[in-house]
């Protein structure tokens, strides 16, 4: 279905289902003009004779409500304007690009309708332009073959370091087994004494039995020293315990003598024993005082 704008004559192809039978309002996307498009079921009005073009402001003036009588002016009514007095409307000219687009659309629609009517295939589209040839890359740096590495000159083998000087102990041990050459006058004994190698090695090594005996004596000495230290520690601990026990006993006897009256009041059953203990301490004190006074008197 084709829609034509009455303002700018723009044409649109839409589906028939988009316009209901009772019609609907449509708007032009080019000039925003709105008009009512009747549906396919509505009767097609007869073409009317072309009349004079009426400005939009005059056409919309008839829909304004009539003014109230109380607001009417006292001035006389002006004569109505005729169509000849109105200036003709001027349409804005379309640019060439828009006209070319509209012509292409019109030709395409005409060709499509003709093809549908006669059952012919639609005209084939023009082949797209061939792609532009890409410029060949320019060689900036030419590849050069790499030079082969020169062989390294063969170096002479390093001499072995001299052997370390022998220690004097090793020289002495070697001298033990080196026999002095006999003098020229004496006959040389060509016979070599048959001395087993194991015997010479055994003489060089220390005696295992002697080492074991030394270790045993050392361990026994350490064990005896440990026992002596433990005995001394035991004696010291026993003396300390006895001394502490005597101090505690003396403190207990002093407390019993000093708190004798309080203890007798608190423990009536132990009163006779406590009183006897107090009398005994008093007698000991008096005797000690006489002894000290007599000793001091003799010394004077």
How confident is the model at residue 41, as a pLDDT? Answer: 61
How confident is the model at residue 47, as a pLDDT? Answer: 56
Q: What is the mean pLDDT of residues 238-261?
A: 89
DSSP string, 163-194: PPPPPHHHHHHHHHHPPPPPPSSSPP--PPP-
How confident is the model at residue 276, as a pLDDT? Answer: 92
| β strands within the chain, DSSP E | 2-4, 11-13, 24-27, 34-37
- Chain segment 179-188, per-residue pLDDT in tens: 555 555 555 5
Contact by Cβ (8 Å): 111, 121: no
Position 20 pLDDT exceeds 70 = yes
Q: What is the mean pLDDT of residues 291-296?
A: 87
Q: Could you give the C-alpha distances from 270 to 169, 248, 251, 259, 266, in angstroms and in order? A: 91, 22, 19, 13, 9
**179 vs 15, more confident:** 15
How confident is the model at residue 39, as a pLDDT? Answer: 75
Q: What is the mean pLDDT of residues 218-237?
A: 70
- Chain segment 240-249, per-residue pLDDT in tens: 888 999 999 9
- Chain segment 112-137, per-residue pLDDT in tens: 888 888 765 555 555 555 555 555 55
How confident is the model at residue 12, as a pLDDT? Answer: 83
The predicted model scores a pTM of: 0.24
How confident is the model at residue 139, as a pLDDT? Answer: 47
How confident is the model at residue 245, as a pLDDT? Answer: 92
Confidence of residue 61 (pLDDT cuts 50, 70, 90): very low
How confident is the model at residue 251, as a pLDDT? Answer: 93
Position 282 pLDDT exceeds 70 = yes
Comparing CA positions, the residue from 272, 254, 255 lying closest to residue 264 is 272
Position 199 pLDDT exceeds 80 = no
Q: What is the mean pLDDT of residues 54-71?
A: 52
Percentage of residues of the chain with pLDDT beyond 70:
45
How confident is the model at residue 267, as a pLDDT? Answer: 87
């Amino acid at each position: 279905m084709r829609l034509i704008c009455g303002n700018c004559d723009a044409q649109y192809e839409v589906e028939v289902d988009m316009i209901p039978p009772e019609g609907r309002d449509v708007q032009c996307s080019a000039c925003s003009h709105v008009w009512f498009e009747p549906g396919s079921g509505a009767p097609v009005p007869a073409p009317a004779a072309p009349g004079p073009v009426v400005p939009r402001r005059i056409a919309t003036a008839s829909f304004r409500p009539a003014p109230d009588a109380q607001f009417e002016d006292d001035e006389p009514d002006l004569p109505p304007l005729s169509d000849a007095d109105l200036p003709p409307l001027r349409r804005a000219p379309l640019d060439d690009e828009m006209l070319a687009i509209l012509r292409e659309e019109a030709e395409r629609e005409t060709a499509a309708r003709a093809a549908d009517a006669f059952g012919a295939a639609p005209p084939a589209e023009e082949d797209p332009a061939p792609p532009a040839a890409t410029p060949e890359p320019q060689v900036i740096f030419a590849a050069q073959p790499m030079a082969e590495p020169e062989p390294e000159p063969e170096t002479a083998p390093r001499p072995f370091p001299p052997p370390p000087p022998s220690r004097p102990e090793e020289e002495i041990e070697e001298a033990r087994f080196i026999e002095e050459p006999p003098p020229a006058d004496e006959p040389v004994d060509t016979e070599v004494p048959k001395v087993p190698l194991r015997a010479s090695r055994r003489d060089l090594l220390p005696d295992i039995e002697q080492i074991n005996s030394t270790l045993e004596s050392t361990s026994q000495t350490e064990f005896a020293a440990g026992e002596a230290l433990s005995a001394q520690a035991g004696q010291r601990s026993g003396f300390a315990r006895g001394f502490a026990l005597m101090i505690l006993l003396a403190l207990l006897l002093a407390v019993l003598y000093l708190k004798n009256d309080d203890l007798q009041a608190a423990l009536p059953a132990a009163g006779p024993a406590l009183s006897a203990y107090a009398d005994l301490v008093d007698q000991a004190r008096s005797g000690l005082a006489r002894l000290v006074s007599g000793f001091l008197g003799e010394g004077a």
